[in-house]
Every structure is written in C-alpha cells, then in structure tokens.
Structure 1
Amino acid sequence: MTARPLPSTLDARADSPLGERLRVGFITHLDQHDDLSRIYRDNIRLVQGLEALGYDSAWIATRHFFSGWAALPSPYAFLGAAAVSTSHIALGTAVLPVVLDDAVRVAEDLAVIDHLSQGRLLAGLGKGVPSDSFHVFEAYSPDRDGTFEAKLDTLSWGLHGNAVEGGSASIWPPAPALEGRQFAGSSNIESIRAAARRGIGLILERFGNGPERTPEARAGFQKRQADSVAEYRRVFAETWGDSRTPYVITSRSAFPGPTTDAALAEAAETASRWNSFAAQIGRVDASRSVAEQFLSDNFAWGDPRALADDLLADPTVALTDELVLGIHPVTASIDDTLEKARILLEDVVPLVEEGWREARSDVRAPAQAVSS
C-alpha cells in the first residue's frame, strides 16, 4: 500500500480522488512509556515505520495536562521533526485544541509545517478534552462552541495571508491550500453542520461520552456518529453542490491477535493500567468484565476477520473516507506497536476495504436531516 496525493475539500467532486479507495491512518498518543527524554524521539521512529509500512497518514494525539497519558501538549515541534524525517506520509493532529490558542499564531505555525512537509499536513482542530484547568490559558473562554467558530474564522483568514487591518503587514507565510485539509473534531451536531457550511472536513472521535460509555450503548454511539456524518454530507452538498468534496475521517481502536481469545488476553494485560485509571475517574465500570470495559471504550479486538467484521458492523465506517486505527489504550513498545500496525494494514484493512467498497454506493445518496 503506497500513499497517494492528499485529497482536499477544495477539490470539485469530479476531480477528487476521494472514494477511489479507503485511506488508512494510524494514531499514537505518545503513551508507550514515561521517559520524556525518549518518548518524542521514539514516536518519530514510529512515524517513520508507519511510512515504511505504507500507511497514508500518521496522527498525533494532542492534549494538555498529560490527559489520558497523551504526552504531547503542542504538536508543532514534533510535526516539524516528523516532516523532515519522512518524505510522503501525511501528518495529522488529533486534535489541536485551537480554542486555547491565538488563532493567528496557529495559522503561522501550521503554515510553516505545511510548507516544511511539502503539503502533507492534515489539521484536525477541536475544543480539547474538557478540563477544569483550562482557565490557566489566556485565550480561554467558557463559551467553547462560540470560541471554536471564531478561531476557525481567524485561522482561515490567516492561512490566506491577509493584510492586517490598521497595519502595514500581512500574515506570513500563507498556506491557502491547507484550508482544504482542515477537519473539525466535534460531537456537537451544530458544530458539525458549521464545518459542512465552511467546506472543511470532519474528524470523529473513537469513543462516546457519558451515558454512551457502556457496552449496551456502543451500537447507539456508532449510529449517532453515522447520523452525524450523513448530516454533515447533506449540509455540505446543500452548501457546495459539486464544487467541493466532503472529507470524513473516523478514528477507531483495533487490537489484532492470532485468535480473538489471544487478542483479548494480551489487550487485558497491556491495558490494565488504563482500565484501572478509567474506573477511578468513572469512565468505565470496574465491576464489569475486561471485555465489557473495552466495549465501553469502543475498543475492538480479535483475529483479522473478527476485527474486520466488527469495524464493518459500525455504520460510520461506510461513510468514512479515511479510517484511522490505533491500539490505545494498551501500552506497548514502539516495536510492538509497529508490529500491530503491520498486522492491521496487511491483514485487517484489505478485509475492511472489501466491505467498504460494497457499501460505498450509498454515500453520495441524499441524506435525511437529523435533529439537534
């Protein structure tokens, strides 16, 4: 599998390569160990390994305060290093919490990285995992939704290198093509509709929130996401017609093993730290079995066929242009992570893509509106 030129929401539908095949990415949370002197360099090696395997994209979880043991609060330095250490894999942020940043500075930093990578940046943008400590940031506002929209406006203005009103300068360097590689990360249906009206892409989280975090609610969470994608595509088509192309990225955890039982046993051992932490903060019910705790996190495991079947049972996958896989919340070495990534790409993805192609004919059909 070799990477191809990046699709863009700026492309007209007739000219877009979206839909020709399922693009596949891999995500790292930089949570393999706690040695900060090595973790960033180790994950550069991971990105290089993903490129060698043939992944289309490598995605970097960006979270403040070491949330979920994600060790990267700001992606810019890391992405710069990854850009000069690779040649063709796309580099994505999942997701950059722009509500806490100066949007002009974000435009400058993203533009530099996009030029440094020769147009390989995929900018996943969001509001950040909620925290009671965000007020420490000078740009913080409790109006997360309104702030997000305002930041996206300023970011778009900056990426186009516009002149500063009341001054003599213009934003530099411009990177207008990056607007077609922006993705709003949100579960809020109004934010999703707004992304469609803006003509930017959509990136979906891998797990639900609150009452959706039970095994029984997993299918309902997946159905909600599928409905959100259908609504995004409906509003996008209503706004842009055939002049631009919608772009949907979905993130999912998938842990492969030689058998389904072996995969569960290995995952249970390597995710014990996470499940204990998740139970302490109320994300999972510790009285449930390990398998049920995993399902609460929308975490799939199994042999390649079982994993593919699980992913294809998710209605969101058929509506997705790029599927980003990862093995979080398990803790594994970089070498073990690369081996799991290889199995996913070589043994699981072909089975998923076969089913994805069969279901793909319905993607461009008119979608029904969903309620708020």
Structure 2
Amino acid sequence: MTGTAQRPQRLGFFTRLLDDGSALDRYRNAIDQFARAEEVGLDSVWVAQHHFHEGEGGLPSPFVLLAQAAARTSRIHLGTGIVTLPLEEPLRVAEDAAVLQLLSGGRVELGIGSGGTPSSFPPFGHESGDRAAIYDRHRETLVAALRGDELTSDGGALYPAAPDLLGAIWEATFSAAGAERIGRRGNGLMLSRTQPRKNWTDPTSPELQEAIVDAYLAALPEGVEPRILASRSALVVDTEAEAAAWVRRGIDRGRSFIDAQGLEVPAGVSDAELLAWLDVHIGTPEQVLATLRADTILARATDVAFQPHPIDPPHAAVLRSIELIAAEVGPALLDWTPALPAPAHR
C-alpha cells in the first residue's frame, strides 16, 4: 500500500436503472432517486450506459437523463459511470457533456471506459476485440475537443467551450496496468463494485483492487490530487426481517450468476460467505457496516458510490436505502458528513 487518498471523502449513489417496469418507469424512478440523494446530502449520482440489453442496464443515453436530473436538482454532481466511448462519436460526447455542464452549473463528472457487452459492438460497426484501440483514439479526440483545440479547417472549436471538464474526467479499469495509464494522464480512477474472478479461492475484490490503487497513485503526476471512485453494492433496510428476505434474493441471483460462469462453490458455504464473495452487502445499517468495514479500499477512495445492483429491489426500497446510507452508514464508515440541504429548486 503506497498511500491513501485525500480527505474528506465524497459519497454518492450509482444506478444501472434496472427497476421493474417500463423504460419510462425506470427513468422517472431514477430522477426521483437522484432528487432524494440530494435531499439527504449525498454528493453525487452516477448512471451506467448500456445498449440493447435491458436486463443489464436500462439507459443508452446518459446525458439526456442527466439533463433532466439537472433540472430537478441544484447541488449534487451528475456522473456518467461510464460512457462506453468506443461506441460513441467522441466529438458528440464532448458537445453533450459541455451543454450539460452549462445547464447543471458545473456539476458534471465525465466517466468513460472501453467496456460494454461484446454483442453491442457490431451494430455500431465495431468488433469487441478492437475496443482498446478505438477507446484510445476516441479519448484523445475527446480531450482535444475539451481542451479547445481547433477542430475544423476554418478554426472551429468545441462550442460551448468546456475546459473545466478536463479536470472531471474519470476512467474505468479492472487492471493495475490500466490504472497506471489513467494515473499518468491525471484522470480519476473508477473501480468496479467487483473484480473478475474465476475461482472461489481467488483474492477478494478489495485485495485485487489494492494493486490497482497502488499503481494509480504511483503514476499520478506531482501536484495532481488523486480521485478514486469505489463503487459498491449495498441495500440497507430498517429491520433484520427485511434483510433476510433480500438476502434470499441476493443469494438466488448470485447462484444464478455463479452457475452461468461455471464456477464451483465449496460445500457448506454460508449465505454470508457467498454474499461476501459476490461483493454484495445487505442488511440493517449495523449489519452493512460490519461487512463493509472489511473493505480496505474504502479508506483509500476519495469517492464512494453505493448501488442497489445486483439485488435490484423496488423503487421504494431504493429510496429508503439511500436515506439510511446517508443517515447511518456514510457518517460511520467514511470521513464524510451530509452536505447542507440544497435550496428549494424550481
């Protein structure tokens, strides 16, 4: 471990928009969840982008949704987690982000990455195996536009200008090598809620992410403050009886995932051990705090964002979890206090 991140920390809410219901239900619920996150003092909200596969994520157009969120909120930061940059025209990403930055009063956090469901690439004219090379080209174009470089033969540049977004770029990676590159660029590091693992005896996700954080911090240019976002799966409820019901759902979904991956779980593994391996935290504030305190990455992160996936409970349960995270989990777990209430937004 080569260092820790700056203090105080920031706390956020992350969603893949997987609520039961129609697409419109998902979008309306997400906006309500963002408004509740601001009301209870969270610092940021983050949305994932997915194409074609509504069971993996419900939002193909993050900037459109976040523009509506900007209209419903006044303080909370609005993040993309992530824009799948190989599938986007990078100049259009720059333009959309710049407009959102203006409309939101400078609250955009621009998370980008190369990931995405492999089958989503061919409809956009790309092969999944080319994603890394495409990502690098598109990232360079995006940065050049945000920097204000001339883009046309007659001197045209990004309009509206958004040079401040250069300091709000985050990149996602699963590897130490990727983290080193992100660090050299001085961008924020986005850590997934879980790390890919093939065997029950593999190191835990936090253990694997220690090396990723180390590589990132070691590569940061002198004078650049670290930005490390750790996404984590948590559903916080009021009673142990509620928790038990959601634990059963988490176990059922977890076993389906494990079976689909062809993984072998040793006989006699408890529900608690299985949830820990799946990096899922479910329970009352006290129960969730007990499991999260084993996660060494949280002390090193500048930003932590909790998401309800893969439990994906109903909207009301998500709202209550946001409230309990802000009131009881965040202050006890992190160097964090709720932000002052936002002024009435009209």
Question: Would you say same fold, with TM above 0.5?
Answer: yes
What is the alpha-carbon distance in structure 2 between the residues aligned to residue 340 and residue 99 of structure 1? 34
What is the alpha-carbon distance in structure 1 between the residues aligned to residue 132 and residue 214 of structure 2? 21
For 1:327, the equivalent position in structure 2 comes to: 308
What is the alpha-carbon distance in structure 2 between the residues aligned to residue 323 and residue 310 of structure 1? 15
Gaps of 5+ in 1: 1-17, 358-372
What is the alpha-carbon distance in structure 2 between the residues aligned to residue 99 and residue 84 of structure 1? 29
More moved, 137-146 vs 50-59: 137-146
Q: Over aligned residues, Cα RMSD in angstroms? A: 2.5
Partner amino acid, structure 1, of 2:218: R
What is the alpha-carbon distance in structure 2 between the residues aligned to residue 290 and residue 306 of structure 1? 14
For 1:222, the equivalent position in structure 2 comes to: 206
What is the alpha-carbon distance in structure 1 between the residues aligned to residue 52 and residue 274 of structure 2? 24
What is the alpha-carbon distance in structure 2 between the residues aligned to residue 141 and residue 168 of structure 1? 35
CA displacement at 1:165 relative to structure 2: 4.8
For residue 257 of structure 2, the aligned residue among 258, 261, 278 is 278
Whether contact under 8 Å (2:149, 2:157) holds in the other structure is yes
Higher relative CO (CA 8 A, sep ≥ 6), structure 1 or 2?
2
Whether contact under 8 Å (1:184, 1:201) holds in the other structure is yes
TM-score by length of 2: 0.87
| Structure-2 change in CA distance of 1:37 and 1:66 (3 Å) | same
Identity of aligned residues (%): 28
Whether contact under 8 Å (1:312, 1:318) holds in the other structure is no
For 1:131, the equivalent position in structure 2 comes to: 118
For residue 229 of structure 2, the aligned residue among 237, 249, 253 is 249
Partner amino acid, structure 1, of 2:245: E
For residue 199 of structure 1, the aligned residue among 186, 195, 220 is 186
For residue 300 of structure 1, the aligned residue among 281, 294, 314 is 281
CA displacement at 1:291 relative to structure 2: 4.1
What does residue range 343-358 of structure 1 map to in structure 2 within 5 Å? 343-353=324-334
| Structure-2 change in CA distance of 1:82 and 1:258 (3 Å) | closer
More moved, 302-311 vs 313-322: 302-311
Q: Deviations over 1:13-67 (max 9, x none)?
A: xxxxx83322100112211113123221121111111111111011112122226
TM-score by length of 1: 0.81
Whether contact under 8 Å (1:108, 1:173) holds in the other structure is yes
| Structure-2 change in CA distance of 1:296 and 1:132 (3 Å) | farther
What is the alpha-carbon distance in structure 1 between the residues aligned to residue 46 and residue 83 of structure 2? 11
| Structure-2 change in CA distance of 1:32 and 1:141 (3 Å) | closer
More moved, 62-71 vs 329-338: 62-71
Whether contact under 8 Å (1:312, 1:352) holds in the other structure is yes
| Structure-2 change in CA distance of 1:64 and 1:291 (3 Å) | farther
| Structure-2 change in CA distance of 1:200 and 1:206 (3 Å) | same
For 2:340, the equivalent position in structure 1 comes to: none
SS in 2 for 1:300: strand
Whether contact under 8 Å (2:36, 2:322) holds in the other structure is no
More moved, 324-333 vs 314-323: 324-333
Gaps of 5+ in 2: 338-346
Are 1:268 and 2:247 counterparts? Answer: yes
For residue 85 of structure 1, the aligned residue among 49, 55, 72 is 72
SS in 2 for 1:82: helix
Partner amino acid, structure 2, of 1:302: G
What is the alpha-carbon distance in structure 2 between the residues aligned to residue 271 and residue 42 of structure 1? 21
CA displacement at 1:294 relative to structure 2: 2.7
What is the alpha-carbon distance in structure 2 between the residues aligned to residue 119 and residue 44 of structure 1? 19
CA displacement at 1:316 relative to structure 2: 1.1
Whether contact under 8 Å (2:191, 2:229) holds in the other structure is yes
SS in 2 for 1:142: helix
CA displacement at 1:101 relative to structure 2: 1.0
Partner amino acid, structure 1, of 2:257: A
What is the alpha-carbon distance in structure 1 between the residues aligned to residue 151 and residue 334 of structure 2? 47
- Between the two proteins, the alignment pairs up a number of residues equal to 331
Whether contact under 8 Å (1:256, 1:263) holds in the other structure is no
SS in 2 for 1:351: helix
Q: Deviations over 1:249-294 (max 9, x none)?
A: 00001222456x5465222344477446525632766886654543
CA displacement at 1:221 relative to structure 2: 2.4
Whether contact under 8 Å (1:267, 1:330) holds in the other structure is yes
What is the alpha-carbon distance in structure 2 between the residues aligned to residue 324 and residue 62 of structure 1? 16
CA displacement at 1:76 relative to structure 2: 1.5
Are 1:313 and 2:294 counterparts? Answer: yes
Q: Deviations over 1:319-347 (max 9, x none)?
A: 10011112211232222211111111111
What does residue range 27-106 of structure 1 map to in structure 2 within 5 Å? 27-66=14-53, 68-106=55-93
CA displacement at 1:143 relative to structure 2: 2.5
Partner amino acid, structure 2, of 1:155: L
SS in 1 for 2:17: coil
Are 1:118 and 2:105 counterparts? Answer: yes
For 2:344, the equivalent position in structure 1 comes to: none
